[in-house]
Chain A
Amino acid sequence: MNKEIASSQITIKGIRDGLLISVGRYYSFADLYKELKEEVTQKGSFLRNSRIALEVGGQILTLEELTNLQILFAQHGMALWAILSRREATREAARELGLATRLPGSKMDLQGNGKPDPALAPEATQNQQPPNALLIKETLRSGRHVFYEGHIVIVGDVNPGAEVVAEGDIIVWGKLRGLVHAGAAGDTQATISAIDLSPTQLRIADRIAVTPPAEKNQHILPETALIRDNQIIAEPWK
């Protein structure tokens, strides 16, 4: 089966301390939760009574989201004991819940530096090249956080209170009113485009810009924001 189009992004592997569940690419907690739920429901009897270490990649998970996962596993007779994440915020939340944030004997230390022990890491995380753009076909409401290592294309709105962070460009086929950060790893060539470009805050690489307050009934035209002469400017979308 072609890994790129495999329907389930979840891999499960036996390790010394129970099972290591790794989730592949997902862009929202809802997705992650849904996939995990399907997986544990399907394989419930096989997984019952195991201790689970969960590897979640680069997304930020909040305390409340981790609690939901803990409950999910508990409902299926499993005990979540560790969260492996590349994000300090996620590890912080995990520690608050009394969860471990590294595997014993693993090179992935508390700061999340370094890769997990190759012997413990599932294959999927090693030889899968992520595609260079993520397509999201829905409106992102307040509280949603999306991060991707390439470009992000959104067909829908980005509401105030939502955050979109990409290492490449961001394109919104809709109203952009939340916070966006393109070129998050430092790429000053990155751009941000939207049908209605009025974000609460807009960042490209390490520059920050704020949209001037809109006048009522101002004519909307699609725009692209980019860095020129060291400054973020917006020009008509070409």
Chain B
Amino acid sequence: MKLGKVITITSGKGGVGKTTLTANLSAALASIGRKVVAIDTDIGLRNLDVVMGLENRIVYDLVDVIEGRCRLKQAMIKDKRVNSLYMIPAAQTRDKMSISPTDMVLVCDQLREEMDYILIDSPAGIERGFQNALAPSDQVLIVTNPEVSAVRDADRIIGLVDAAEKGPAQLLVNRLKPEMVARGDMLSINDIVEILAVDVLGIIPEDESILISSNRGTPLTLDNGHMPRARIAVQNVARRIEGESVPFIDLTAREGLLSKVKGWFGG
């Protein structure tokens, strides 16, 4: 029997890339042979299924499981592109109050027995949906963008995670634009860490291939033709979750010349 780990991906501010990173990170972990299930807990605003390209295969959802209309297995959609990747969609026509933190703990406890990783895509904000996503969590990843308002909201969430005794949370800095940082027009990783005082688990650059892959429903980490920087950055996060110590890549290097470690540039 396995004893899977529950990883919650959350943020204070909306639209910073939680769903995108949940999809890509799940695929990256599955690609290195782990058994992974991604759960969309954004009830009423589901979209993890779209980003993962599994929308048309939905029959049952998370609320169906919780309310006993189907078995857990029936709501788990298996990805056909990679072995051992599953996803449980959110209900689209219900609201956040239809599941409770206790429900999430029970569902995840069942999943732990079969899975290596359970990734939870949380809704933005600090209310019930966040509590649901946090309740079963073993590791909390906070997504932020290098901008003042997103960092402020991340700070708030880090405090709430601590208060719930689920900390310390770790940070995923998404949509970093190295040129802008170099010009002093964007918060640097140092600026962010100075305020938030938590560990950074990953730095993902702004990369249009992420957007393209989301629209096509193919997580970057499953797209064999492609090795953009964002993909490598996500794969590095997966390896760090696995316990490897992977140096941060230099995002200021030209594409294809990724190499040296240089402080906090990226990766």
Given contact pairs A30-B163, A33-B163, A141-B155, enumerate 15 new A-B contacts (beta carbons under 8 Å): A28-B163, A64-B126, A75-B102, A140-B159, A141-B156, A141-B158, A141-B159, A141-B162, A142-B152, A143-B155, A143-B160, A144-B159, A157-B197, A160-B195, A161-B155
Across the interface, which residues of A come within 8 angstroms of B128, CB to CB? 67
Across the interface, which residues of B come within 8 angstroms of A30, CB to CB? 162-163
Name the CB-closest residue of A to B125: A64
- The answer for the CA separation of A142 and B155 in the assembled complex, in Å, is 6
- The answer for the CA separation of A37 and B131 in the assembled complex, in Å, is 17
Once A142-B155, A142-B159 are accepted as A-B contacts, the answer to whether A159 and B195 lie under 8 Å apart by CB is yes
Across the interface, which residues of A come within 8 angstroms of B101, CB to CB? 71
Once A64-B127, A159-B195 are accepted as A-B contacts, the answer to whether A142 and B153 lie under 8 Å apart by CB is yes
- The answer for the CA separation of A93 and B117 in the assembled complex, in Å, is 38
A103-124, CB under 8 A of B: which get 1 and which 0? 0000000000000000000000
B162 touches A143 (CB 8 A): no
A and B contact pairs by CB, cutoff 8 A, 11 listed: A67-B128, A68-B131, A141-B156, A141-B159, A141-B162, A142-B152, A142-B153, A142-B159, A143-B155, A144-B159, A161-B155
B156 touches A161 (CB 8 A): yes
If over half of B's interface residues share one DSSP class (helix, strand or loop), that class is named, otherwise mixed; here it is helix
A24-44, CB under 8 A of B: which get 1 and which 0? 000011100100000000000
Name the CB-closest residue of B to A157: B197
Across the interface, which residues of B come within 8 angstroms of A125, CB to CB? none
Counting CB contacts under 8 A, is A139 at the interface?
A: yes
Across the interface, which residues of A come within 8 angstroms of B131, CB to CB? 68
User: What is the size category of the interface that chain A forms with chain B?
Assistant: 10 to 19
Across the interface, which residues of B come within 8 angstroms of A144, CB to CB? 159
A160 touches B152 (CB 8 A): yes
- The answer for the CA separation of A144 and B159 in the assembled complex, in Å, is 8
- The answer for the CA separation of A139 and B131 in the assembled complex, in Å, is 22
User: What is the size category of the interface that chain B forms with chain A?
Assistant: 10 to 19
Name the CB-closest residue of B to A30: B163
- The answer for the CA separation of A137 and B195 in the assembled complex, in Å, is 17
B155 touches A159 (CB 8 A): yes
- The answer for the CA separation of A58 and B2 in the assembled complex, in Å, is 48
B159 touches A143 (CB 8 A): yes
Please list the 8 inter-chain residue pairs (A to B) with the smallest Cβ-Cβ separation, ordered nearest first.
A141-B159, A30-B163, A143-B156, A142-B155, A142-B156, A141-B155, A161-B152, A159-B155
Q: How far is the CB of B134 from the nearest CB of chain A, in Å?
A: 12
Q: How far is the CB of A154 from the nearest CB of chain B, in Å?
A: 14
- The answer for the CA separation of A71 and B102 in the assembled complex, in Å, is 11
Q: How far is the CB of A155 from the nearest CB of chain B, in Å?
A: 14
B194-214, CB under 8 A of A: which get 1 and which 0? 010100000000000000000
Name the CB-closest residue of B to A216: B184
Interface of chain A residues 137 through 153 with chain B (CB within 8 A): 139-144
Interface of chain B residues 97 through 121 with chain A (CB within 8 A): 101-102
Across the interface, which residues of B come within 8 angstroms of A161, CB to CB? 152, 155-156
Across the interface, which residues of A come within 8 angstroms of B195, CB to CB? 159-160
Residue with the highest number of chain B CB atoms closer than 10 Å, among A67, A139, A140, A142: A142
- The answer for the CA separation of A43 and B55 in the assembled complex, in Å, is 48
Across the interface, which residues of B come within 8 angstroms of A68, CB to CB? 131
Q: How far is the CB of B28 from the nearest CB of chain A, in Å?
A: 30
Across the interface, which residues of A come within 8 angstroms of B156, CB to CB? 141-143, 161
Q: How far is the CB of B99 from the nearest CB of chain A, in Å?
A: 13
